[in-house]
Amino acid sequence: MNALLAPWTGAFGLPPFAAIRDEDFAPAFDAALTDTRANIAAIADNPEPPTFANTIEAMELAEALLDRVSGLFYNLAGADANDTREALMRDLAPKMSAFSSEITNNKTLSGRIETLWQSRQSLDLTLEQARVLDLYRQMFVRSGALLQGEAADRLTAVKARLAVLGTQFSQNLLAEERSWFMPLSEADLEGLPDFVVTAARAAGAEKDQPGPVVTLSRSLIVPFLQFSPRRALRQKAYEAWVARGANGNAHDNRAIAAEILSLREERAKLLGYHSFADFKLEPEMAKTPEAVRSLLMRVWEPARAKALSDAAVLEAMLQADGIPGPLEPWDWRYYSEKRRLAEHDLDEAALKPYLSLDAMLAAQFDCANRLFGLEFRAIDGPFYHPDVRGWDVTRDGAHVAVFLGDYFARGSKRSGAWCSAMRSQRKLGGDQRPIVVNVCNFAKGDPALLSYDDARTLFHEFGHALHQMLSNVTYGFISGTSVARDFVELPSQLYEHWLEVPQVLEKHARHWQTGEAMPADLLQRLLAAGTYDQGFATVEFVASALVDLAFHEGPAPADPMQKQAEVLESIGMPRAIRMRHATPHFAHVFSGDGYSSGYYSYMWSEVMDADAFAAFEEAGDPFDPETAKRLETFILSAGGAQPPEALYTQFRGRMPGVEPLLKGRGLLEPA
């Protein structure tokens, strides 16, 4: 019996990880697709007039087996890839795209949905049902259900090719990150804090090298750039980091990016839109490219001014070291770290012993308990990798979710950090509780010690996890993080604020050896430096978002790298700062459609998260029960049950302006 197809009868309905073999996945997908096709055909060919129950609710349950198999596989493919899984991903990309088009091109099925939508006023639907019907109809129309003949066929082909290219882009990037490393001699370790040395030795062991190495994992390369006094090594590592996907080899992503942009433009034109950005932004909060550009430029100008001012200080430090300059991108983090130590007496090496992974996990769980009454009990595996940890999440004794944490960098894992669900919450067809996964790429250690930025990432991804775990909707289509792209980052970025609450760090930031609390003066300096180097951070982000927007709001550029250079020149990009994600490794934008024309959404959500946390501040308590209840009711549990503007307004009473964001990043001029 294929373990993927048999009922999952273990604790909490977890996948039987130990019984699953890679060769099970291809036949499981075939069986699941066959099952779904039969279910969809039964809905489309139903001789009864369409009703919400026999059409929309039936579609909600039609893909149950496919959801189960794909939910597991795509989690594994991102977090623990191997040759077999990567080959299957390549095979599945066009197959799954064709399957999706097959459903949305089914004129009988789309006709039933259109009939329901046209008569929606007479259907006596709940608010949630009306929203689900709207979104199903929108999905079909935006997928080309109204197209006929050659146009419909061409759109199907375009989407299939885009799926192939997105998979290829991702796998090229993983191959680049997996293959590159820079050996370090014992002399090269000079000036590096113990935690960087430990991480480099662990990375060397993982790469089967005799000594320490620097890899392209952010959790290793960033601290190396911060602390290594060897400028030539910093340059070598930095240039390898920013050259991912642009090395002229079999894994070069530049031509792929160009083809993706061309096909996206064609897709939008087939559907009647002026540009891909117009198409993509239509269902988002921003609605138009003009609204996105307005926000980004409102933030860009003060951020650029701050970055240029900071660059002058750092360049003076460089020259004081006897280097004539100019300040280069591989110098910024090194001299910024020195400046932070000088101005704030803040040394990351002194901070990290108080920020062990276990301590920060306890902190994020404690905050969730105080805010929402959730409790976390560790459970045993086996899970999909020995590094994975699991927790049973309960409230008032009732099971809420299973939470899995996969925190350490390894060669089989794509870079970055993310949250996903192996199973999403829904009530239709039985109370289905979610299995939620947080994946990070922290340096492994004994114990694992985090930077403050790592700890922020941990809280960020757990904010997404709460959005999934606290979801309380009937329909899986709108469950958890199934919301507008520029709303989905609100819960994650909002949760980061609790890491900055002094009482949280006072309780949990304890030395991993002695158990002593972080000294009060160190804690005060840490919080006082909260907006340090925000010019740099904001510039590298906004530059990436502006390039993403420029790629998609007009004709597709024949040469994306030239277009990238033109955009950066037009906005006056400081020479010592690069985009956070250059085009050949901009996975957010090119590994799929998720953040295409949508990288701005982190900042759009930040406008809301700054204002949302202010609600707790106005209540006089970061754990104010009434405010937390409103947050859960209108944001975390509601999923996509209403438009995001309606949900936020119910929580806060109004929509926010951009000023709290600028203030939070230290970019407002003092009054």
pTM value is 0.94
Percentage of the chain lying above the pLDDT 90 cut? 94
CA 470 vs CA 374, 404, 431, 605, 631: distances in Å? 9, 15, 13, 19, 11
Instruction: Please state, in angstroms and rounded to a whole number, the distance separating the CA atoms of residues 147 and 40.
Output: 20
Q: How far is CA 642 from the centre of its chain?
A: 22
Position 21 scores a pLDDT of 96
- Percent of the chain exceeding pLDDT 70 equals 100
Secondary structure class of 318 (helix, strand, coil): helix
Residues 99-119 pLDDT 10s: 999 999 999 999 999 999 999
Q: For the residues of 551-563, what is the DSSP string, one character each?
A: HHSSSPPS-HHHH
pLDDT of residue 24: 96
Across the strands, what pairs with 405?
389, 438
Length of the chain: 671
DSSP 41-68: HHHHT-SSPP-IIIIIIHHHHHTHHHHH
CA 170 vs. chain centroid, Å, equals 14
Number of H helices, E strands in the chain: 27, 7
Residue 655 confidence class, pLDDT cut points 50, 70, 90 = very high
Please tell me the predicted confidence (pLDDT) of residue 657.
87
d(CA 111, CA 109): 5
Give residue 614's Cα distance to chain centre: 24
**Region for 394 from its dihedrals, namely left if φ exceeds 0, alpha if ψ lies in -120 to 50, beta otherwise:** beta
Question: Which residue(s) pair with 230 in the sheet?
Answer: none
Residue 670 binned pLDDT confidence (cut-offs 50, 70, 90): low
Given a cut of 60, whether residue 671 has pLDDT beyond it is no
Question: What is the predicted pLDDT for the residue at 660?
Answer: 85
Distance CA 371, CA 560 (A): 45
The residues with which 406 forms a beta bridge, in sequence order, are 439
Q: What is the pLDDT of residue 348?
A: 87
- The 8-class DSSP code of residue 446 comes to S
Taken in order 518, 489, 643, 612, is the CA torsion positive or negative?
Answer: positive
**Spatial distance between the Cα atoms of 429 and 61, rounded to a whole number of angstroms:** 7
CA–CA dist 25, 48 (Å, integer)? 36
- The strand pair at 398-408 and 435-442 is best described as parallel
- Both tokens of residue 402? 């299973």
Q: Which residues contact 529 (CB under 8 A, 6 or more apart)?
A: 340, 344, 346
284 catalytic? Reply is no
Q: For residue 56, which of 107, 129, 128, 121 has the smallest C-alpha distance?
A: 129
User: Could you give all domains of the chain from N- to C-terminal order, each with its CATH number?
Assistant: 11-104+106-142 (1.20.1050.40), 182-242 (no CATH), 254-346+534-599 (1.10.1370.10), 353-496+505-514 (1.10.1370.40)
Q: How many CB atoms lie within 10 A of CB 552?
A: 24
Q: Which two three-digit tokens encode residue 625? A: 């029960």
Phi, psi of 231 (to 5 degrees): -60, -40
pLDDT of 635-647, one tens digit each? Answer: 999 999 999 999 9
Three-state secondary-structure class, residue 569:
helix
Q: Which of 435-439, 450-454, 650-654, 665-669 comes out lowest in average pLDDT? A: 665-669
**Residue 663 binned pLDDT confidence (cut-offs 50, 70, 90):** confident
84: left (phi over 0), alpha (psi -120 to 50) or beta: alpha
Which pair of tokens denotes residue 441? 């790429």
* Other Cβ atoms closer than 10 A to 155: 20
What's the number of CA atoms in the CB half-sphere (13 Å) around residue 145?
19
Is 90 exceeded by the pLDDT of residue 253? Answer: yes
Reply yes or no on whether the pLDDT at 140 is more than 70: yes
> Does residue 574 have a cis bond before it (omega within 30 degrees)?
no
Express the helix, strand and coil content of the chain in percent, nearest 5 each: 60, 5, 30
Whether the CB-CB separation of 586 and 286 falls below 8 Å is answered with no
- Mean pLDDT in residue range 342-367: 95
- Rounded to 5 degrees, φ, ψ at 377 are -120, 125
* Residue type present at position 41: A
Higher local confidence (pLDDT), 594 or 514:
514
Residue-wise pLDDT for 547-571, tens only, equals 999 999 999 999 999 999 999 999 9
566-600 pLDDT tens trace: 999 999 999 999 999 999 999 999 999 989 999 99
Contact assessment for residue 570 and residue 549, using Cβ atoms and an 8 Å cutoff: no
What is the average pLDDT across 542-551? Answer: 98
For 400-423, what is the mean pLDDT? Answer: 95
Q: Closest Cα to residue 250, out of 329, 313, 185, 168?
A: 168
Catalytic site residue from 60, 461, 606, 632: 461
Question: What is residue 88's predicted lDDT score, i.e. its pLDDT?
Answer: 97
> Contact at 8 Å (CB) between 237 and 222?
no
Rounded to the nearest 10 degrees, how much is the dihedral formed by the CA atoms of 15, 19, 23, 29? -30
Handedness of CA 357, 361, 367, 371 (dihedral sign): positive
The overall average pLDDT reported for the chain is 96
Average pLDDT rounded to a whole number, residues 47-56: 98
Output Rg (C-alpha) for the chain, integer angstroms. 25
636: tokens are: 């975390």
For residue 78, which amino acid is it? Answer: G
Q: Is 438 helix (H, G, I), strand (E, B) or coil?
A: strand
Q: List, as one string, the DSSP characters of 340-365.
A: HHHHH---HHHHGGG-BHHHHHHHHH
pLDDT at 659: 87
Q: Is 271 helix (H, G, I), strand (E, B) or coil?
A: coil
Taking residues 602-624, report their average pLDDT: 95
